[in-house]
Chains A and B, each alone.
Chain A
Amino acid sequence: MTPFLALLKRDLKLAARHGLDSFMVVAFFVLVVILFPLAVGPEQAILGRIGSGVIWVAALLSAMLSMDRLFQQDYEDGSLDLLVLSPTALELLVLSKTLAHWMSTGLPLIIVSPLLGILMNVSSTGYGTMILSLALGTPILSLVGAIGAALSLGARRGGVLISLLILPLFIPVLVFGVSAVETALADLPSRSEFLVLGAMLLVALALVPYAAAAALRQALE
């Protein structure tokens, strides 16, 4: 097994055995969305209007919730030392850890999102687009979050610090993610939004491993 797959498999195994982490992210996501009908009132037209935006913001906040654990545990128990020392490029290992993080937190969010769409009275014509936009958007959240997680290693209250560092960077993802769903709800093609999200994902995929790996090396000095 290649080191990339070995690390991916180990992180997924750890996530599965600590099952609570993934569950907490999804539970937080669901709870935040449920709060909106209670606060805004049950008028279906209003809920349908704000639904896609609420779901996207909630997904973004839930993704932040688990971000600080991406490297923290490996940093604390000394595994990170050994990952840096392994002959495999650290950039590749960062990518593997980020992929595992996305699979254990981002993917469950995507799966429950149509359910919350029903709750928010989002028209069913938008579900496909919502799933696709989240599928393109949440990996960007995990990738950019990895830089924040690496930079805040060793800092006290790292979780809050990551949110402050990273949330502003997610604004473009949020804008295009929500507008893709809105466009689909208006029965227009959301191809251009998907292209922009796809482009952002590719840029993040290409640049993040280098930035995060450099931050990790810095943290271990």
Chain B
Amino acid sequence: MNNLSGTGLQCIRSNRVVFEDLSFSLESSDVLHLTGPNGSGKSSLLRMLAGFLRPSAGELSWGGASEPILEKIQYIGHQNAVKGALSVLENLSFWSQINGDRGDQTALACALQTFGLEKLANLPARFLSAGQARRLTLARLLVVPAPLWILDEPATSLDTANEVALRSAIYAHSEAGGMVVMATHAGMEADAKVLDMSTFGKTTATG
């Protein structure tokens, strides 16, 4: 999958048009930032791209296919999907196994190291701080390789050092030909594409 595009997308949530007539396209190596105020539909668009939501109008194309290709998408939502009763390593290796990985230990160790979690590998995840749990979630991106990353506010509760780690992971991913779509409030790279969601909004009710 080396491109992703949407044309004339419309999203209606409980009779309210969140955005409409939204078009974008993404090629290999592109990083697309979604900006806009709360409620402008950033998360809705991301959930659309991951295939959870269907657009009420318009069309999406995942590299030419009209259905999302699940093997090629990694989604990081608001929630961390971290189980407190499992250790950090168990959490991570579970997600790699669910995605059909054979449990490659070096990939797991490497991902933990990138986000500075290697010393916490055997700690039950309920003892993690909010930022550490977020890093564990982000480590999933590196364990299960996929060309398209869909990130919803990935830098939430990260400290400066780890924000840099995240940024370099995104950079490396795009250098390797991957695509990233992310909703963000934080500062962004100068050469990144930006989609300002507030320009597609509309407040009239359709009901």
Contact = CB atoms under 8 A, between A and B. Distances in A.
- A-B interaction: yes
Interface of A: 1, 3, 6-7, 10, 13-14, 17-18, 76-79, 81-88, 93, 217, 220-221
A81 B77 contact: yes
A81 B81 contact: yes
B80 A77 contact: yes
Contact of A77 (B51, B52, B71, B83): B83
**A-side binding surface: helix, strand, loop or mixed?**
helix
A127 to B, nearest CB: 35
Given A10-B86, A84-B52, A85-B50, A3 B81 contact: no
B71 A1 contact: no
Nearest 8 A/B pairs, CB to CB: A78-B79, A6-B97, A78-B81, A17-B85, A79-B81, A87-B71, A87-B70, A3-B98
Given A1-B97, A85-B73, A87-B99, A78 B78 contact: yes
Interface string B47-62: 0001111100000000
Contacts of A84: 52
> Interface extent on B, as a size class?
20 to 34
B116 interface: no
B75 A82 contact: yes
B78 to A, nearest CB: 7
A111 B94 CA distance: 30
Interface string B77-109: 111111101100010001101111011000000
Contacts of B77: 78, 81
A168 to B, nearest CB: 31
Contacts of A10: 83, 86, 90, 94
19 contacts: A3-B97, A7-B94, A10-B86, A17-B86, A77-B81, A77-B82, A78-B77, A78-B81, A81-B75, A81-B81, A82-B95, A82-B98, A84-B52, A85-B73, A86-B99, A87-B70, A87-B99, A88-B98, A93-B98
Contact of B83 (A79, A83, A88, A93): A79
Interface in B26-57: 50-54
Contacts of B103: 1
A221 B81 CA distance: 17
